[in-house]
Amino acid sequence: MRAPWGIAMKETELDEDLVEAYRATLYEVFGVEGLTLRIGAACGELSRLMAEHGARCAAFVTACNPRSQALSEEVNRERGATLLADLVAEGRVCLAGQGRHPDGGWPPEPSLLVLGLDRVAASELGRRWDQNAVVWVGEDATPELVLLR
């Protein structure tokens, strides 16, 4: 079965409703006016930001709530701080943000937009933090949901 956003559901073990929730989530970047990523919709603000930093790609990642299992705010904060420290140690440009579902049924998830993180590295990072998916963006500044399980 092929979903309308181009993900073959048989290629993932994730529940179709969960994938739809990820697809509908708003991926907001703090500190840059109008920078909210939506899966499948080109983002002019992100395109400008990437050009400003000489980045050809980016990823929106989190260390919170592995495999969509809720952790305490304290544990998520610690995981997020470790993720940020690791990325900064690698010399990555990171901007804070959050993934927020528009219906508010799940608390916003602290996240990072990482400039210059290619698709393979973004997927490896997501797997390292036991995530179901990451959002990856290529040169066209169109966010894509990358399922990891």
* Sequence ranges of the domains in the chain: 9-147
Residue pair 122/132 in contact by the 8 Å Cβ criterion = no
* Whole-number Å distance between alpha carbons of 125 and 83: 9
Kind plus residue range of the DSSP H or E element containing 52: helix 44-52
pLDDT value of residue 34: 87
Q: What is the mean pLDDT of each run of 10 residues along the chain (149 residues)?
A: 42 92 97 95 97 98 96 97 98 98 91 98 98 98 97
**Which two structure tokens, joined as six digits, stand for 7?**
């993900």
Conformational region of residue 17, where left means phi above 0, alpha means psi within -120 to 50, and beta covers everything else:
alpha
Cα dihedral 106, 11, 140, 81 sign: positive
Q: Quick one: 69 exposed, middle or buried, by C-beta within 10 A (0-12, 13-18, 19+)?
A: exposed
pTM flag (> 0.75)? yes
